[in-house]
Amino acid sequence: MKPAHSVSLRRWLAAPGSLSRHLAALGSDYRVRPLREGGLRLLPDEGAGSSRARSQRYWGREVLLYVNGQPLVFARSFTLARAVRGPWRALRRLGTRPLADLLFGVRPAHREVLPPLRLPPASPWHSRVGRALRNYPASPQPRLGVLWMRRALFAQRRGGPALMVQEVFLPAISRRAGPGGRSPATARGWATGPAAASHALSHANAD
């Protein structure tokens, strides 16, 4: 991985625990703005090119995370479609609540950290982030360059269906002091690399 450009950004990428908790500490008005949820197709970085991924159906959710009216994070999470009728059914009832309420609540999910990804301007992530910001404009409108994304896989139990959580940090986050934390460790027991999401999700047992 190429190094992130600022100490602040590196700290955000390595922030332990709930990102929502860290963002909420930045201001008095932390909000989750849902963009879409339902069936989705995987992006190339999510393993869309693998034959296993093409044989599966996925359900996902995309949101923008705001602090004091400024968008700081674009988040996208997904799991196998059958899992939202089983152990991940609470995803459909989140609404404007942060996903962290489910992942770090009374019964926290098992978390495996994946290496962060550098997203160049030609990445398909930029078109998704740009569209989200145009639909929900902020003032001033951020200019997107190279973006960074942190990723983690969550499971209610080992061997159960996994939920991939991906958080893209928008330019304004670099101007916010990042929380302390260790450098992200490569996940153990999960696949890593371009097809990490589809491999881990499709091998999970949804029963």
How far is 155 from 206, CA to CA, in rounded Å?
Answer: 11
The CATH number that applies at residue 177 is 3.40.1410.10
Binding residues for substrate: 61, 99, 167
Binding residues: 61, 99, 167
For 65-101, give the DSSP string.
EEETTEEEEEEEEEEEGGGGGTTTGGGGG-TTS-THH
- Residue 1, in any domain of the structure: no
| Least confident span in 26-35, 41-50, 79-88, 140-149 | 41-50
- Residue 115, in any domain of the structure: yes
Q: Residue 51's pLDDT is what?
A: 63
- Residue 49, in any domain of the structure: yes
Q: Where are the beta strands (DSSP E) in the chain?
A: 30-40, 58-67, 70-80, 110-119, 147-155, 162-169
CA distances from 117 to 1, 90, 124 (A): 7, 28, 13
Whether the per-residue pLDDT at 61 is higher than 90: the answer is yes
Whether the per-residue pLDDT at 27 is higher than 90: the answer is no
Q: Which residues of 69-100 are buried (b: 16+ CB within 10 A; e: fewer)?
A: ebbbbbbbbbbbbebbeebbeebeebeeebbb
- Residue 2, in any domain of the structure: no
Q: In whole numbers, what is the pLDDT of the chain averaged over residues? A: 80
Q: Residue 143's pLDDT is what?
A: 76
- In three-state secondary structure terms, 128 is helix
Span 7-18, average pLDDT? 88
More confident of the two residues 52 and 70: 70
The domain total for the chain is 1
Q: Which residues of 28-52 are buried (b: 16+ CB within 10 A; e: fewer)?
A: eebbbeebebeebebbebbbbebee
Span 165-188, average pLDDT? 68
Domain that holds residue 188: 7-203
Q: Residue 92's pLDDT is what?
A: 92
Whether the per-residue pLDDT at 138 is higher than 90: the answer is no
More confident of the two residues 142 and 6: 6
